[in-house]
Amino acid sequence: MERLDLRKLTGAHLKPYRQMDDDAPMPEEGAVLVSLERLKAESETLLARNHPVGLLVPGQAKAADLAPWLDKVTLIAIRFEKFSDGRGFSLAHRLRDEQGFGGEIRAIGHLIADHAEFLLRSGVTSVELGDPLAVDHFIKRLKLYSLWYQDTLDARPTILELRHGRTRKRLAS
């Protein structure tokens, strides 16, 4: 799997997380990605491991259901089951805007390069792609635009803010 930070256009610094099935034995070392059900059931053991724990959720998950765990995990991975399902974008936006999550949000699953800008603008910071060629397509797509009219959750100012010399505090790039 290829990882790409949507803000830095590289994946070299991104930590790999090992995706764990609910019944798989937990490794002693390394970052793991678990379901909400497993995190709830084994939170004491998982969080005492002294290694990063990430949460793997489907796009239809509710941000409010994840709220109690947001300060305990280092990554939220949102699974996009099919490329035409936009619920993952909404979940990322809600995690940032309503729940104030400042950590890494990674999109995984069925993603296409046309999603790149929308993912970034909705609060997703990284993607996990199955094809190295897809990484190049994502990078090209992210370099297409440099100015935006619409306000979103990323750190880039809108055209109006640039014109009037005002910016708001948002997710750091």
- pLDDT (tens digit per residue) in 101-149: 999 999 999 999 999 999 998 999 999 998 989 999 999 999 998 887 8
pLDDT single digits (tens) 64-115:
999 999 999 999 999 999 878 899 999 999 999 999 999 999 999 999 999 9
Pairing, β 104-109 against β 75-80: parallel
Asked whether residue 23 is assigned to any structural domain, the reply reads yes
Q: Residue 110: which CATH number?
A: 3.20.20.70
Asked whether residue 154 is assigned to any structural domain, the reply reads no
pTM higher than the cut 0.75 = yes
Q: Which residue has the tokens 């297409």?
A: 144
Asked whether residue 92 is assigned to any structural domain, the reply reads yes
Asked whether residue 165 is assigned to any structural domain, the reply reads no
Asked whether residue 78 is assigned to any structural domain, the reply reads yes
**3-state secondary structure (DSSP) of residue 52:** coil
Residue 171 has pLDDT above 50, yes or no: no
Asked whether residue 38 is assigned to any structural domain, the reply reads yes
Asked whether residue 42 is assigned to any structural domain, the reply reads yes
The phi, psi pair for 169, rounded to 5°, reads -75, 125
Give the chain's domain count: 1
- Which structural domain range is residue 32 located in? 2-145
Asked whether residue 170 is assigned to any structural domain, the reply reads no
